[in-house]
Amino acid sequence: MTELFRSGLLMSKKRRENCVFFIIFSVVFALFCRICFLQIFSFRFLQKKAEKEHLALVKFPAFRGAILDRKGRLLAVSLPAESLYVSPKFIQEPEKTADILSKYLGEEKSGLLKKMGRNENFVWIKRQLNREDYEKIEELHLPGVGFCEEFKRVYPKGILASHILGFADIDGKGLSGAERENDALLKGESGWYLLIKDAKRRVIPSLERKSKEGSQGLDLILAIDEKIQEITEEELEKVYQEFHASAATAIVMDPFTGEILGLANRPTFDPNSPGSFSPSFLRNRAITDLFEPGSVFKTVTAAAALEEGIIKPIDRIFCENGKWLYRNHFLHDHEPYKNLSFQEVIAESSNIGTAKVALKLGEEDLYRYACSFGFGEKTGIDLPGEIKGILRPLNKWSKYSIIALPIGQEIGATPIQNICALAVIANGGKYVKPYLLKEVRNSEGMVVRQTRTESKQIISVKTALTLTSILKDVVKKEGTAFSANVYGYSVAGKTGTAQKIVAGRYSHSKFVASFIGYAPADNPKIIVLVMLDEPKSLYYGGLVAAPAFKEITRRVLAYLEVPSENLVATNENLITENTKKKYSHE
């Protein structure tokens, strides 16, 4: 019995020993597996975590490229600016620090205290300080307060060319205009370096390791000329104020290359403080606003008819004494014209005469030429936000479209589309793509990219020359734009007075007045568009837009030193009541 009891005790002891051994073995095995897992499978994760604890990646911004005009005059540049931050954990006296910063920065103390109360190592207080505030605060050596050098985007000419340049945000990212369109070229590449910290997350200066240099952004050379831009803006501002228009646009372009020499809109804004202006002021109306072109489109109808050989300038057309019924719609002229030559139809801006020519041309050819002249598609100008306008396909035309479209109705176009269309006549029949970016240069001044002119012949030189001859008559005393005459130079152009559509109907009180012309007519150096949206008191293109065209053209040609053609001067102040009637409907 005793032996059995002893035997049982021994077995029980052995089982306990085995159990303890198994537990110890299991724990050791689990630890071994955990170590293997950490060493093999979690190595990269733990390595990154350790680096995060002991390494700090500090980025420093790249120097954004400058924007200059075609003659190298500075339009946009980045300048060094100090930005203020705090490290809340190192601020010894938050109340006192907030008091001091509030005094210099003009910010609420409560807001500063809230920022200082964050459980973070780095909190922005105010970025891109002016030099005076920076120097005053820096002299105080406040614990936990530091500065970081950034670059502030500056536009030294203020509102000049604001819709072309656009603007960049506080981080140097382009948000509109050329700044946005060419952001990838301008921004460069930020540099960075690593800081090594001890166990208490303090920087060890001797172990600072710089890892990568930043690269400077590229400089943009635009096609615009600062002086031409100034002239354009000055004259546009005058006419915008004189007629109390809701908006206005002016464009100066080289009709042969497509280079935009000047482009302005009203209302405008200052890119140094875009947030101070209504969003509508920031809109580049030259590429985003849609209008019926009105009589400006008659040049397209005329070009198509001449090119297809269905009409000659001397052919006569019966204009129905100013009132014509077609498919239950009355079409009117501003004068009770009887028989006019085709040349007179365009010069006098007869709706009936133009519509009759379009009927001979036919819907398909009219639509094809409208497309060729760039309507219904974006011009491709290198600015963000361009719209393509409205040109309905043939299967969506109404039975009235064949006499509406030829006189610039039932079609929507932007100012840039309109000037590109008329440039076809000015340059000898080529559709030219407009552009703003002329060259891209690196920090050493070397040209790394150039824009080449893109063009396509869409009508013959003969047709273009014939139309130029016709459009010269528009600015004669008998035409609709006598006030567009420029002393010493021949001018060719076309007026437009289009009713705006309000609530689905043509308004009898809201109009868009325009004039597009080029000079010298037979060898044009520039083509100029002036367009006013809802001018007051007068609204005819020949009376509102044409005089502004004259002043822009006169001043630009003088600036470019284009030789005078020694033409006989016209009495440009002789505008009688009868002449005004001719302007009243283009």
Cα separation, 418 vs 549, in Å, equals 15
In a domain, 196, yes or no: no
Return mean pLDDT, the chain: 86
CA distances from 11 to 16, 20, 23 (A): 9, 14, 18
Token representation of residue 317:
């057309």
Per-residue confidence at 583, pLDDT binned at 50, 70, 90? very low
In a domain, 487, yes or no: yes
Structure confidence at residue 252 (pLDDT): 98
Mean pLDDT of 238-265: 97
Per-residue confidence at 565, pLDDT binned at 50, 70, 90? confident
Contact between 217 and 65 under an 8 Å Cβ cutoff? The reply is: yes
Task: Tell me the residue type at 544.
Answer: V
Among the options 78, 176, 295, 490, which is catalytic? 295
Cα separation, 180 vs 260, in Å, equals 18
Which structural domain range is residue 339 located in? 226-436+451-583
The answer on pLDDT for 90 being more than 80 is no
Structure confidence at residue 134 (pLDDT): 83
Cα separation, 452 vs 539, in Å, equals 39
In a domain, 316, yes or no: yes
Structure confidence at residue 92 (pLDDT): 79
Among 97-101, 166-170, 184-188, 290-294, name the one with the lowest average pLDDT: 97-101
In a domain, 99, yes or no: no
Sign of CA dihedral 311, 313, 315, 319: positive
Cα separation, 26 vs 40, in Å, equals 20
Structure confidence at residue 572 (pLDDT): 40
Share of the chain above pLDDT 70, in %: 83
β-strand pairing of 74-86 with 145-154 = antiparallel
CA angle 89, 92, 96 (to 5 degrees): 125
pLDDT per residue as tens digits for the range 192-237: 655 555 554 444 444 445 566 668 899 999 999 999 999 999 999 9
Tell which residue, 442, 422, 446, has the closest CA to residue 434: 422
pLDDT per residue as tens digits for the range 432-444: 999 999 999 998 9
**Orientation of helix 131-138 relative to helix 94-105, angle to 10°:** 160
CA angle 325, 330, 332 (to 5 degrees): 110
Residue 42 bears catalytic tag: no
Per-residue confidence at 569, pLDDT binned at 50, 70, 90? very low
pLDDT per residue as tens digits for the range 16-72: 666 766 677 677 776 766 666 656 655 565 555 555 555 555 566 778 999 999 999
Tell which residue, 362, 357, 252, 250, has the closest CA to residue 302: 357
Structure confidence at residue 209 (pLDDT): 53
Per-residue confidence at 104, pLDDT binned at 50, 70, 90? confident
What DSSP assignment string belongs to 540-554?
-HHHHHHHHHHHHHH
In a domain, 523, yes or no: yes
25: which residues sit within 8 A by CB, 6+ positions away? none
Per-residue confidence at 548, pLDDT binned at 50, 70, 90? very high
CA distances from 183 to 66, 80, 174, 178, 222 (A): 11, 19, 6, 8, 14
Structure confidence at residue 17 (pLDDT): 66
Cα separation, 437 vs 450, in Å, equals 8
Residue count of the chain: 586
Mean pLDDT of 115-119: 79
Mean pLDDT of 282-286: 97
Among 209-218, 315-324, 534-543, name the one with the lowest average pLDDT: 209-218
Share of the chain above pLDDT 90, in %: 61
Per-residue confidence at 389, pLDDT binned at 50, 70, 90? very high
Query: Coil, strand or helix: which one is 497?
Result: strand
In a domain, 114, yes or no: no
Token representation of residue 168:
């960049």
Residue 327 DSSP symbol: T
Contact between 82 and 153 under an 8 Å Cβ cutoff? The reply is: no
In 171-260, alpha helices (H): 177-181, 183-186, 226-242
Structure confidence at residue 43 (pLDDT): 53
Among 6-15, 356-365, 368-377, 559-568, name the one with the lowest average pLDDT: 6-15
Structure confidence at residue 87 (pLDDT): 79
Contact between 450 and 439 under an 8 Å Cβ cutoff? The reply is: yes
Per-residue confidence at 584, pLDDT binned at 50, 70, 90? very low
Sign of CA dihedral 251, 299, 405, 408: positive
Strand residues in 95-171 grouped as ranges (E): 123-126, 145-154, 167-168
Cα separation, 361 vs 342, in Å, equals 14
What DSSP assignment string belongs to 74-89?
EEEEEEEEEEEEE-GG
The answer on pLDDT for 247 being more than 50 is yes
Cα separation, 252 vs 305, in Å, equals 28
Query: Coil, strand or helix: which one is 78?
Result: strand
In a domain, 280, yes or no: yes
The answer on pLDDT for 279 being more than 70 is yes
pLDDT per residue as tens digits for the range 449-486: 999 999 999 999 999 999 999 999 999 877 788 899 99
pLDDT per residue as tens digits for the range 521-535: 999 999 999 999 999
Per-residue confidence at 361, pLDDT binned at 50, 70, 90? very high
Token representation of residue 85:
């931050």
CA torsion 65→71→75→77, rounded to 10°?
30
Higher model confidence: residue 502 or residue 153?
Answer: 153
Mean pLDDT of 541-562: 96
In a domain, 461, yes or no: yes
The answer on pLDDT for 382 being more than 90 is yes
The CATH number of residue 321's host domain is 3.40.710.10
Structure confidence at residue 486 (pLDDT): 94
- Distinct helix (H) and strand (E) counts, the chain: 20, 23
Task: Tell me the residue type at 9.
Answer: L
Cα separation, 461 vs 465, in Å, equals 6
Higher model confidence: residue 211 or residue 181?
Answer: 181
Number of domains comprising the chain: 1
| 520 preceded by a cis bond (ω within 30 of 0) | yes
Structure confidence at residue 13 (pLDDT): 62
Which residues, in sequence order, are bridge partners of residue 486? 489
